[in-house]
Structure 1
């Protein structure tokens, strides 16, 4: 059995690279045959559905013995000039199956598109509402912070620096308070102590 790395290399080269190059040469010919274009279009259609089927059912079929080798052999069978199995597989298996289920597949695709569009529209609406709410919260936060900043700057200005007149008023008030206290103390001490009268002078 081939290794996993060699299997991937063979699938890429024999399933994609070489058929893509042959398809490119067919398209770029001056006189392109409709049958050749039809053949390669059928090949890529089959490849797309085989990839989808493989991704979905890989768990159930990958355990088969010689699965990788059978896969590579099938890819070569589809485009090999002597076999050209693409036409046979497409006309015998793929086209009858799609003809029977084409209407149902179209309906399912339309339903899936509608659901996806509804999901996208609801998600965009929810995102817009959430973004609008966050935007207003940010504006409110900025306004509150700017108001706090203004109030912090206005407090020292309201008190104002001490001017000479204010200092003089304060010192005058302190002097008046001091004189009032001294006068009160003097008056109280005068009542308690006897006054010294001057002696009369005899001539």
Structure 2
């Protein structure tokens, strides 16, 4: 719905939310075993996620994105771009190799 709306502010808000949610999910994946031992962890997690998508000016995803994610990304942007271009090149090469092997397999049958 956000992509189809005429206003683009809600797109930015939801994209920011999903970036923060993805960061939270990855962090939680590695720390869930330890965090689950804390009493009421599930309640704190739910409250955190509600804070992240609440439609208020002090929205959690906006706060975390502007104070943590964006500064980290801006500091390491060139390195991230370099790694992504290397990965893209390797994936292109892998795709070409797969097509070649598949073509050879079809020809031999």
State the TM-score, normalizing by the size of structure 1. Answer: 0.44
Relative to structure 1, the CA distance from residue 133 to residue 28 in structure 2 (aligned partners, 3 Å threshold; closer, same or farther) is: closer
User: Aligned-pair distance for 1:105?
Assistant: 1.1
> Which one of the candidate residues 112, 132, 135 is aligned to 2:87?
112
* Residues 132, 27 of structure 1: alpha-carbon distance in 2 compared, 3 angstrom cutoff: closer
Query: Which residue of the partner structure matches residue 5 of structure 2?
Result: 28
Which structure is larger by alpha-carbon Rg, 1 or 2? 1
Aligned to 1:94: 69
Aligned pair partner of 1:77 in 30, 44, 51: 51
1:62 matches 2:37: no
Structure 2 unaligned regions, length at least 5? none
Please provide the CA RMSD for this pair: 2.6
Confirm or deny: 8 A CA contact 2:2 2:11 kept in the other structure: no
Per-residue deviation at 1:33? 7.0
State the Cα distance separating 1:127 from its structure 2 match. 1.7
Pairing of 1:1-203 with structure 2 (within 5 A): 24=1, 28=5, 32=7, 34=9, 36-51=10-25, 53-54=26-27, 58=29, 60-63=30-33, 64=35, 65=38, 66-82=40-56, 83-134=58-109
Point out the more displaced range, 121-130 or 41-50.
Answer: 41-50
Deviation at 1:125, TM superposition (A): 0.7
Per-residue deviation, 1:62 = 0.9
Secondary structure of 1:48's counterpart equals: helix
Normalised TM-score (structure 2): 0.74
C-alpha spacing 1:76/1:113, structure 2 compared with 1 (3 Å):
same
Q: Unaligned 5+ residue runs, structure 1? A: 1-23, 135-203
CA distance in 2, matches of 1:67, 1:104: 35
